[in-house]
């Protein structure tokens, strides 16, 4: 995979695919303290550790272009 950013939060590994993200910001609408739009219009992490696990999963799941991928503690992909 190309340009990605990963973070482990609440036992979840979350990956932002910066080449796929087009800045719709749906994830920010669900979890505004977890993500922000960078100067390039692509989503970046802010403070996802301050967001409830279920809300974080929902925020990743609403991405219309599947730029956010989430794996659980066992390594199973749960989003998208």
User: 79 in a domain, yes or no?
Assistant: no
Which residue segment(s) compose the domain that 50 sits in? 4-74
Tell me if 44 is assigned to some domain. Answer: yes
Query: Is residue 40 assigned to a domain?
Result: yes
Model confidence at 66: pLDDT above 90? yes
- Which CATH number goes with the domain that contains 42? 3.30.70.20
**Helix, strand or coil for residue 37?**
strand
**Is pLDDT at 68 greater than 60 in this prediction?**
yes
Residue for token pair 């960078």: 38
Pair 50, 71: CB distance under 8 Å: no
User: Would residue 29 count as lying in a domain?
Assistant: yes
Q: Is residue 80 part of a domain?
A: no
Residues 7-62 have pLDDT tens digits of: 999 999 999 999 999 999 999 999 999 999 999 999 999 999 999 999 999 999 99
Q: How many domains does the chain have?
A: 1
Is 45 domain-assigned? Answer: yes
pLDDT, averaged across the chain:
96
What is the C-alpha to C-alpha distance for residues 37 and 76, in angstroms, rounded to an integer? 27
């Amino acid at each position: 995979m190309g340009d990605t950013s990963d973070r482990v939060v609440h036992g979840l590994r979350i990956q932002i695919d910066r080449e796929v993200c087009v800045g719709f910001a749906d994830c920010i609408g669900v979890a505004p303290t977890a993500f922000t739009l960078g100067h390039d219009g692509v989503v970046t992490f802010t403070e996802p550790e301050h967001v409830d696990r279920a809300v974080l999963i929902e925020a990743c799941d609403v991405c219309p272009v599947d730029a956010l991928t989430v794996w659980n503690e066992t390594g199973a992909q749960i989003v998208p």
